[in-house]
Structure 1
Amino acid sequence: MLEGTAPEGTAPEGTEVAPAGEASRAPVIEARGITKTFRVKKNKAGKDRLHALDGVDLTLERGETLGLVGESGCGKSTLARVLLMLDRPDGGTLRFDGTDPFGLAGKELLAWRRRVQMVFQDPFASLNPRMTAAEIIAEPWRTHRDLLPSRRDRQARVRELLDLVGLRAGDAGRYPQEFSGGQRQRIGIARALALDPEVIVCDEPVSALDLSVQAQVLNLLNELQRELGVSYVFISHDLSVVRHVADRVAVMYLGRIVESGTAEEVFGTPRHPYTAALLSAVPELGRPGDRERGERILLEGEVPSPLDPPSGCRFRTRCWQARDTCAQTVPEGPDGDDPAHQAACHFPLEPAVAGQSS
């Protein structure tokens, strides 16, 4: 069960929001050993528990962007739902400024929900077509009524948020179907900013947009971070997008984080074979030597089912580095001399051979 208790009365010392441009390096979110399973229809082996998350450790610092990458079905969105308190994990601990949000209730829980918001993947499905842009942006204030009780204040704040995301004040009365995809996503971002959050979870926020529009939205997110000091958990399967926006990167495979580090470290010198395989599939992101050799790591076999994951290292059934130890023991990080660049692998790749398969 989750550990921790609700705070008493006032927030604990040190939970103030850091001013924009002066973000403290103290973690705003710490997750340790998060597990989550779902009961599903039994498979042929009689297994009915889908292991979506299994011992996930995650840290998000103030004012940074953490990129979360991996194949579809690896658990990225489930982890996002846990961070947003939409799903309760089966085990592990989650701390927000040192407080367990799952221990909150009533007004304290309502106040906490202001601090973590979300930008959704599909800008066409995430906006109510019967509501104007102003009504969509103002909708969070219907729940958090104490923030802007005056109608005049709400209207003024809507205009400020529209300007902040690069839209015009005259757009307030238009409906979603009157906007382009990129403009709709800007409205979604404005809605997420309405409650002045400290953390925004972005779940594939540009995957439904054209490439040129993607760049505009990504640049907008970067500008907002510099101006407001907000932290992002940026979920994507597009490595080029993650490399553009992320300060740190966590790579997920079958419910576990297999490598984490700065974007420069993970993209430049991947330590886990799975990370190297992902990067090799995107030639423009590889190191110059890899592009010249034109090498590509082709993984053999199918992705194992989360209903019956492999013992030991979950990647071992597709890994060219696998040995007997990999089937017997779950690998632990960190590895090597850099504790900030971790790879959960018994036989991590060396920089000189990362990206090469045998």
Structure 2
Amino acid sequence: MSEPTPLLEVSGLRKSFRVAKNKAGRSKLTALDGVNLTLGRGETLGLVGESGCGKSTLARVLLMLERPDEGTVRFDGIDPFTLKGKDLLAWRRRVQMVFQDPFASLNARMTAADLIGEPWRTHRDVAPSPREREAKVRELLELVGLRATDAHRYPNEFSGGQRQRIGIARALALQPDLIVCDEPVSALDLSVQAQVLNLLADLQERLGVTYVFISHDLSVVRHVADRVSVMYLGKIIEHGPTEDVFDRPLHPYTAALMSAAPTLEEDGTAGSGERILLDGELPSPLDPPSGCRFRTRCWQATDRCATEAPDPVGRAESADALEPHEGRCHFPLSLTPVGA
């Protein structure tokens, strides 16, 4: 079987920012440090990690809101950072965003119809005609589970979950290939979260859209993602198929995250897995540890971890997998060598 063609390929991505000097005199914050990832068409990639690990910076680079210092981004075989003029505008239609706060991301003075149709004001060459516009808005409202009669209501007249549905409808207006979802359900009640997640899954099945799904909630990521990338201080330290990463984590940090996530047994009772408590705080990205960046909080760390950055190790998956399950650790928790 031939390997699937990826929609998105990121290689060696680095991004730093100049900030005020810290006590050690350092003023360069490295938000992304050699990030690699691959995303297939119609897939969902879950991007997880603590606050400050670089998830949002990676999202901004994928959306071309930030330019990387090094590395390449290829979308459907094209480097979007080389595009200009009409070619760049056409590319921007293919990548859209669903924001974390469903109220702050919507203009309170615009109706639902105006909000959903806002992208057409910029991309006029693909906008429906004035006669078709109203019908297209009604279609998008119904696609995301709202009523056509909601078109003339304002954001304050909707619940949080309904506002997020409007945001999703706006993202779909240009028929994108990729949607970056930045914590899209974290501001919603649990019952509403499930509704929005099910909506995203249904839209993916119907439209074939691809998602990069950023979240700190591992139970949500396990529900929606096909593959998971775990970030720590600007690096992806583990990635692979979702079930394998959750059931057989390679990196101690991943295992600690999984142990903190609530689980349910088959009978519906709360899981009783042992909680892994990490020592210390997340180091400053202005002064990351040498060697393995997780070593200052890791119970397995040795002198080697302080002097030598770990190479990726892992296990091979199915022949048609875009990437194997890999983790960057000198002492992986469970390992079958790649190719075994």
TM-score tier, shorter chain, comes to over 0.9
2:17 is matched with 38
Shift of 1:250: 0.4
Q: Give the letter for the 1:167 counterpart.
A: L
**Corresponding position: 1:96 with 2:80:** no
Shift of 1:293: 5.9
* Deviation per residue, 1:39-86 (Å, 9 max, x gap): 000001000011100000011100000000000110000000000000
**Corresponding position: 1:266 with 2:266:** no
User: Closer, same or farther in 2 for the Cα pair 1:56/1:28, shift >3 Å?
Assistant: same
Contact 1:279 1:286 in 2 (8 A): no
From 49, 56, 64, the counterpart of 2:28: 49
Q: Which whole-Å CA distance do the structure 2 matches of 1:224 and 1:192 have between them?
A: 12
User: Closer, same or farther in 2 for the Cα pair 1:28/1:285, shift >3 Å?
Assistant: farther
User: Closer, same or farther in 2 for the Cα pair 1:220/1:267, shift >3 Å?
Assistant: same
Shift of 1:287: 11
Q: Give the letter for the 2:331 counterpart.
A: F
* Deviation per residue, 1:251-285 (Å, 9 max, x gap): 00110001001110011111100000001112417
From 290, 294, 303, the counterpart of 1:311: 290
**Corresponding position: 1:114 with 2:98:** no
Shift of 1:328: 1.4
Q: Give the letter for the 1:80 counterpart.
A: A
1:348 is matched with 332
Q: Which whole-Å CA distance do the structure 2 matches of 1:232 and 1:143 have between them?
A: 23
Q: Give the letter for the 1:343 counterpart.
A: G
Task: Quote the sequence identity (%).
Answer: 73
1:78 is matched with 57
From 174, 184, 191, the counterpart of 1:195: 174
Shift of 1:148: 2.2
From 305, 310, 327, the counterpart of 1:331: 310
User: What are structure 1's unaligned runs of at least 5 residues?
Assistant: 1-23, 353-358
User: Closer, same or farther in 2 for the Cα pair 1:213/1:331, shift >3 Å?
Assistant: same
* Alignment size in residue pairs: 327
Q: Which whole-Å CA distance do the structure 1 matches of 2:255 and 2:69 have between them?
A: 31
Q: Which whole-Å CA distance do the structure 2 matches of 1:204 and 1:25 have between them?
A: 28
1:10 is matched with none
Shift of 1:336: 4.1
TM-score (norm 1): 0.88
Give runs of ≥4 in structure 1 deviating > 2 Å. 285-288, 291-294, 334-339
1:168 is matched with 147
Shift of 1:119: 0.2
Task: Give the secondary-structure state (helix, strand or coil) at the position aligned to 1:46.
Answer: coil
From 130, 139, 142, the counterpart of 1:151: 130
Pairwise CA RMSD: 1.8
User: Closer, same or farther in 2 for the Cα pair 1:46/1:129, shift >3 Å?
Assistant: same
From 90, 105, 118, the counterpart of 2:84: 105
Q: Give the letter for the 2:102 counterpart.
A: P
User: What are structure 2's unaligned runs of at least 5 residues?
Assistant: 318-322
Q: Which whole-Å CA distance do the structure 1 matches of 2:264 and 2:88 have between them?
A: 42
Q: Which whole-Å CA distance do the structure 1 matches of 2:299 and 2:313 have between them?
A: 21
Contact 1:333 1:344 in 2 (8 A): yes
Task: Give the secondary-structure state (helix, strand or coil) at the position aligned to 2:125.
Answer: coil
How does 1:19-30 map onto structure 2 within 5 Å?
25-30=4-9
Q: Which whole-Å CA distance do the structure 1 matches of 2:7 and 2:69 have between them?
A: 22
From 88, 113, 132, the counterpart of 2:111: 132
Q: Which whole-Å CA distance do the structure 2 matches of 1:122 and 1:292 have between them?
A: 31
User: Closer, same or farther in 2 for the Cα pair 1:283/1:130, shift >3 Å?
Assistant: closer
Contact 1:270 1:351 in 2 (8 A): no
1:68 is matched with 47
Task: Give the secondary-structure state (helix, strand or coil) at the position aligned to 1:41.
Answer: coil
